[in-house]
Structure 1
Amino acid sequence: MAAAPSLRIIESTQISPPAGSVPETSIPLTFFDVLWLNSTPVERLFFYPYKDSSTHFTSSILPALKSSLSLALQSFFPFAGNIRLTPETTDKYEIHYVDGDSISFTAAELGDSNELFGDGPREGPNVIPWNLC
């Protein structure tokens, strides 16, 4: 089996909506939302091929990505908020956003990605997926 490709973390940071752009807000959860409280959060991993140098990526593309994410969170601020019990209750939950709440953002560089994906069969790792244990 080939060695795993190298991974280098370029930047790991927190992104929030522009300061002062969203007021403190609480949104009550519905019955259907509460069903998801005990499930694990969804995490996404995206691969983008990039042919230019890492320096060009970190100086021009990465700041634009972070800025556009911040502006998008202005409209989708509940993603940056936190789930909490509604004050003065013991059984109702809400998404509560305050200025400064954020989401985590990590940009990384992957060495040779041909071992992870491509147009042909690949030899898989010798591990058992966590959800089958």
Structure 2
Amino acid sequence: MNIENRVIFYLVFFIVMQVITSLSRKILWKSVCKAGGTTPEGVREKRGELLQQSTGRQNLQNSFRAWMRSNAPDPKLYDKLDRIYTFSMIPNVIFLILSFVSLSMPMAFQKVLTVGLFVSPVVIIIVIILGIYYKNYLDK
């Protein structure tokens, strides 16, 4: 495979992985909400109220976290699930950015992107497994 085709392959691969990562995080989101003492619908309902109180995107996220943590039956479990949910997107976003950069500098990140071919699916599998595990754990 020549370098131009490889760069296009990386880009398409990581775009597809980004979509799959987002979908796999939905499984985990239900567990995060349940650990936070609410449901995804409850979060949507509370969004308007918290949006009026906050002054910016970061403050809104912090308001949601504080609200869910205060409602959580087990705040430590909520914190753990929230961290997993938040950081599960980071590896694929980094690889996606590097694949866009490699369009203009094809040889710059070849080794890193090759590692990403294995890391991204593993992260997705781990997120799905954790989502299913914690869903079953919280349903008990």
Please report the TM-score for the alignment, with normalisation by the length of structure 1: 0.28
Q: By percentage of residues, which structure has more helix?
A: 2
Please report the TM-score for the alignment, with normalisation by the length of structure 2: 0.27
Q: By percentage of residues, which structure has more strand?
A: 1
Q: Which has the higher contact order (CA 8 A, sep 6+)?
A: 1
Larger Rg: 1
